[in-house]
Structure 1
Amino acid sequence: MKSLDTLDRLTVVSPHLDDAVFSCGALLERARSCQVITVFAGFPGDVPLTDWDRRCGFLTAEEAVRMRREEDAAALAELGAKPVWLDLLDAQYGGNHPPEEVAQHLAPLIDRFQKGALAVPLGLFHSDHILTHEACMRLYDEHQELRWLFYEDALYRRLPGLLQQRLAELLQKGLRLTPVAGPRLPPRAKERAVSAYASQLRAFGKGGYEDTALPERYWKVDAHEPH
């Protein structure tokens, strides 16, 4: 694999409308051509306002998703990335999608991405992150021509034991992974992109998203030994 500083084409699969920038913003900024596929970006309709959306300052769930899409478009524009939004529902809005359904939505988008690097979440802690990871793993065997990268989910990667547990599970599935350092320092473009998610940062509060400023970390697939 080329240096992560010189990727030609990059697709990042993001559970929510912020995860790709929080976890991979520096890498996106350095890729010559990049897109972000956000899985759970659907409009929820008439559902009760969640506590998280209330903390973000919204009055309805529809308003929350509309604003998050606007924030995501602005953030990705800072990094030169194209947004692709799927219409699946976030778990907080009652989304209950099995991994095979998510994989079916992702498959045609990844099929069109014929070469380059594909970065997917390790899938830590949050149910939507775990589901996105499981869906991507269903597509792995069919797309080994791509250069697969697993990224460490920002914010959740610092929770004790979760990263080690996921790496052990992938080893049991026959994937041998090697750590790859991301770009040394987050560029100013990533700082501006993170700040574009103003509603989310409001809910995280001061110090709640400091992990986004720390070095990004990735794991590349060195070998796959089918079990």
Structure 2
Amino acid sequence: MSPSLSSLTIVSPHLDDAVFSCGTLLERTPGATVVTVFAGTPRDAPLTDWDRQCGFASAQAAMQARRTEDAKALAMLGASPVWLDLLDAQYGGAYRPEDIEQHLAPCLDRRRGGMVAVPLGLFHSDHQVVHEACLRLHAGHPELEWLCYEDALYRRLPGLLQDRLASLLRSGWRLTPVIAPTSASGAKARAVRAYASQLRAFGEGGYEDTDLPERLWRLERHDIG
């Protein structure tokens, strides 16, 4: 079963995750919105190793450039960004799922239907806390078609996907694979390249997972008896 290509909101932990994981879905759903949770700009954070590898001299310069890259990439796919002012973990951001839930709720409260795609949270603390927050939001929005996407760059790490699916099943969630849209236009690949600073740090071959087919799962509650 494939997702209905109606209005779409994608919840993205960082400024690149939505395009890396769901660029083809975005391409096939014009007018989509991408809500990036950890898009805040730190004021006094020291330069991190990752930002140095990306070629930046400060955390502020890094986040400003990443927002510019994100806007460019999403425009290529006909999507619009919404940036929340929360700090990612490398800048000292430390949030509970209920904190993220509080910030995401207004973005979903404005919806009257359509799809929302959220990360499975396979790896990285930022991805995991966003995943947990989205599970908390699910019950309050039965009018939405909920999908989970496999976090690109992490989904091929041994055992992570299987462990997540099993954990969700034990917790009362049923995930059913859906047929993800395919692309022959190359639009996703061009959008991925718009994140030039990130790709610099990943190095050659470090982001090849973004070229593989996207995989989506329908998210539903079920009675575990």
Q: 1:64 aligns to what?
A: 62
Q: Which runs of 4+ in 1 moved over 4 A?
A: none
CA contact (8 A) 1:8 1:33 kept: no
Cα deviation for residue 97 of structure 1 reads 1.0
- Match of 1:47? 45
More deviation, 181-190/194-203: 181-190
Task: Report how far residue 32 of structure 1 moved.
Answer: 3.3
Uncovered stretches (5+) of structure 2, i.e. residues with no partner: none
Instruction: Name stretches of at least 5 consecutive residues in structure 1 with no aligned partner.
Output: none
Equivalent residue runs for 1:211-226 within 5 Å: 211-221=209-219, 224-225=222-223
- Contact 1:120–1:151 (CA under 8 A) maintained in structure 2: yes
Residue 223 of structure 1, CA deviation:
5.0
Q: Distance in 2 between matches of 1:13 and 1:171?
A: 22
Structure 2 length-normalised TM: 0.96
Rounded Cα–Cα distance in structure 2 between residues aligned with 1:118 and 1:165: 23
**Alignment partners' CA distance in 2, 1:39 and 1:221:** 20
User: 64, 75, 78: which one pairs with 2:76?
Assistant: 78
In the superposition, relative to structure 1, how do residues 186 and 159 fare at CA in structure 2: closer, same or farther (>3 Å)? farther
Superimposed CA distance per residue, residues 117-175 of structure 1 (whole angstroms, 9 cap, x where no aligned partner): 10000001111000100111111111122100000000000101111111111111222
Q: Secondary structure at the match of 1:142?
A: coil
Query: Is the 1:12–1:36 Cα contact (8 Å) retained in structure 2?
Result: yes
Residue 140 of structure 2 aligns to a residue whose secondary structure is: helix
Greater helix proportion: 1
Show the counterpart of 1:24: 22
- The Cα of 1:180 is off from its aligned counterpart by 1.4
Query: 2:200 pairs with 177, 199, 202, which one?
Result: 202
Q: Which residue of structure 2 lines up, in the alignment, with residue 138 of structure 1?
A: 136
Q: Paired residues, what number?
A: 225
Q: What value does the CA root-mean-square deviation take over the aligned residues?
A: 1.4
Q: After superposition, where does 1:113-132 map in structure 2 within 5 Å?
A: 113-132=111-130
- Which of 168, 171, 174 is matched with 1:170 structurally? 168
SS in 1 for 2:210: helix
Question: How far apart in 1 are the matches of 2:62 and 2:218?
Answer: 35
- Alpha-carbon distance, 1:181 to partner: 2.8
**Identity across matched positions, percent:** 67
Distance of aligned partners of 1:123 and 1:187 in 2 relative to their CA distance in 1, 3 Å threshold: farther
Q: 1:113 to 1:51 in 2, by over 3 A?
A: same
Q: TM-score with structure 1 length normalisation? A: 0.95
In the alignment, is residue 179 of structure 1 matched against residue 141 of structure 2?
no
Assess if the C-alpha contact under 8 Å between 1:186 and 1:215 holds in 2.
Answer: no
